[in-house]
Amino acid sequence: MILYALHCDQNHDFESWFKSAEAFDSLLSAGLVSCGICGSTKVGKTLMAPAVRPAGKTAEAPLSGQKSKFEEAMAALRRQVEENSEYVGMNFATEARAMHEGDAPERAIHGEAKADEARALMEDGIPVMPLPFLPARKTN
pLDDT digits (tens, 9 = 90+) for 8-35: 999 998 888 888 889 999 999 988 999 8
Range of the domain at 85: 69-123
Residue 77 and residue 36 share a domain: no
Residue 75 and residue 39 share a domain: no
Per-residue pLDDT, 56: 63
**Is the model's pLDDT at 79 over the cut of 60?**
yes
Quote the number of domains for the chain: 2
Per-residue pLDDT, 43: 93
- For 90-111, the pLDDT digits (tens) are 999 999 999 999 999 999 999 9
- Is 59 contained in some domain? no
Per-residue pLDDT, 123: 93
Pairing mode, strands 109-110 and 86-87: parallel
- Is 57 contained in some domain? no
Report the candidate in 118, 15, 115 with the shortest Cα–Cα distance to residue 63.
Answer: 15
- Is 134 contained in some domain? no
With a CB cutoff of 8 Å and minimum separation 6, the contacts of 91 are 111
Per-residue pLDDT, 107: 95
- Is 18 contained in some domain? yes
Per-residue pLDDT, 39: 87
H-run or E-run covering 5: strand 2-8
If you compute the radius of gyration of the chain from its CA atoms, what whole number of angstroms results?
Answer: 21
| 113 and 93 Cβ atoms separated by less than 8 Å | yes
Residue 73 and residue 35 share a domain: no
pTM to 2 decimal places: 0.50
- Is 133 contained in some domain? no
Per-residue pLDDT, 70: 87
Residue 74 and residue 110 share a domain: yes
Phi and psi torsions of 79, nearest 5°: -60, -45
Spatial distance between the Cα atoms of 127 and 116, rounded to a whole number of angstroms: 15
- Is 91 contained in some domain? yes
Q: What is the dihedral of CA 131, 136, 137, 140, to 10 degrees?
A: 180
- Is 63 contained in some domain? no
Residue 38 and residue 75 share a domain: no
Res. 67 pLDDT band, cuts 50 70 90: confident
- Is 95 contained in some domain? yes
